[in-house]
Amino acid sequence: MHDDDDSPRPASIRRRPLLVLAALLTVSAAAGALVWGVARGPDTGAPADGRGPDSTAVPPSRTPSPAVSPDGSKPLAGRTVLVDPGHNPGNFRHTAEINRQVDAGTHRKECDTTGTATEAGYTEAAFTLDVAHRLRDLLTAQGAKVVFTHDADRPFGPCVDERARIGNEARADAAISVHADGSGRGNRGYHVILPAKVAEGSADTSAIAAPSRALGERVAAGFRAATGTEPSNYVGGGTGLDVRADLGGLNLSTVPKVFVECGNMRDPQDAALLTDPAWRQKAARGMADGIRTYLLR
């Protein structure tokens, strides 16, 4: 689930205000069970097993990618890629801060959200950070300079406007925001969100809309080839692509940028993939392949 998504989705579970969510979580904790199903997306950090909202521990360990490309080449030398792990493990403990309104280009909205989680409690924040690390390894192996928006090294956030600004200031050749969706059961598959052409308020995507589409198309193709999963059956009309004008992380970007919703954490079949380290490596590989083909086009 993207951190600045406040629009409805077909058959999806809508996110409730974060303060209401915090109250739900408090009641749930008192009962000894975490309640995730009623909101479109609470989530925070996970302990070592990747479960639960009350720990700032990093996701489960992963097998490191090689330090260099298999053939020893560095095709992405001199290129900069912004990798944005959606949400922050600490957001759950900072509801006041992440409820603060910030500029989203065409409107104002909350700084960030907590994200979503599987029914078993594996959080989106844990998922996105793990995939982001894998993606960084793969891109670095090909010579790219990788800039993170955060690495669970801050209490909460960054806010959606700062996430965009980090990529802009890095003058990234490509930017990718890693997420997982929080839709209803039966809604499955990945989709890549592209910025619409907007010129309103502080948003002007006229220069990045076309290159972002080119980036998104290649990332979607790479993701499908690497993971073997199908495009979303509930967003994008089967194309795996979704164009949006309401996301601050895209509206405020001055570099080519896309969001990737890797699957639906609320569907048991997708959740089984998202919680599998081997599949997460494939997901990272697909994104890296898409970014590489875009940068070398």
* Closest to 62 in 3D by CA, of 52, 50, 71: 50
Structural contact between residues 121 and 48, judged by C-beta atoms closer than 8 angstroms: no
Angle (nearest 5°) at CA 193 between 94 and 186:
85
* Residue spans of alpha helices (H) in 99-247: 124-141, 160-170, 209-227
Residue 186 DSSP SS3: coil
Structure tokens at 202: 């502080």
Residues in the chain: 297
Which residues have a Cβ under 8 Å from the Cβ of 93 and sit 6 or more positions away?
44, 155, 156
The rounded distance, in Å, linking the Cα atoms of 245 and 87 is: 20
| Rg of the chain, C-alpha, whole Å | 17
- Tell me which residue of 272, 227, 275 sits closest to 260, measured CA to CA: 227
Q: Do 297 and 214 form a contact (C-beta atoms < 8 A)?
A: yes
To the query of whether residue 169 is one of the catalytic residues in this protein, the response is no
The single residue listed with the structure tokens 């194309």 is: 239
Helices 124-141/277-295 angle, 10° precision: 50
Q: Would you name the residues annotated as active-site residues?
A: 261
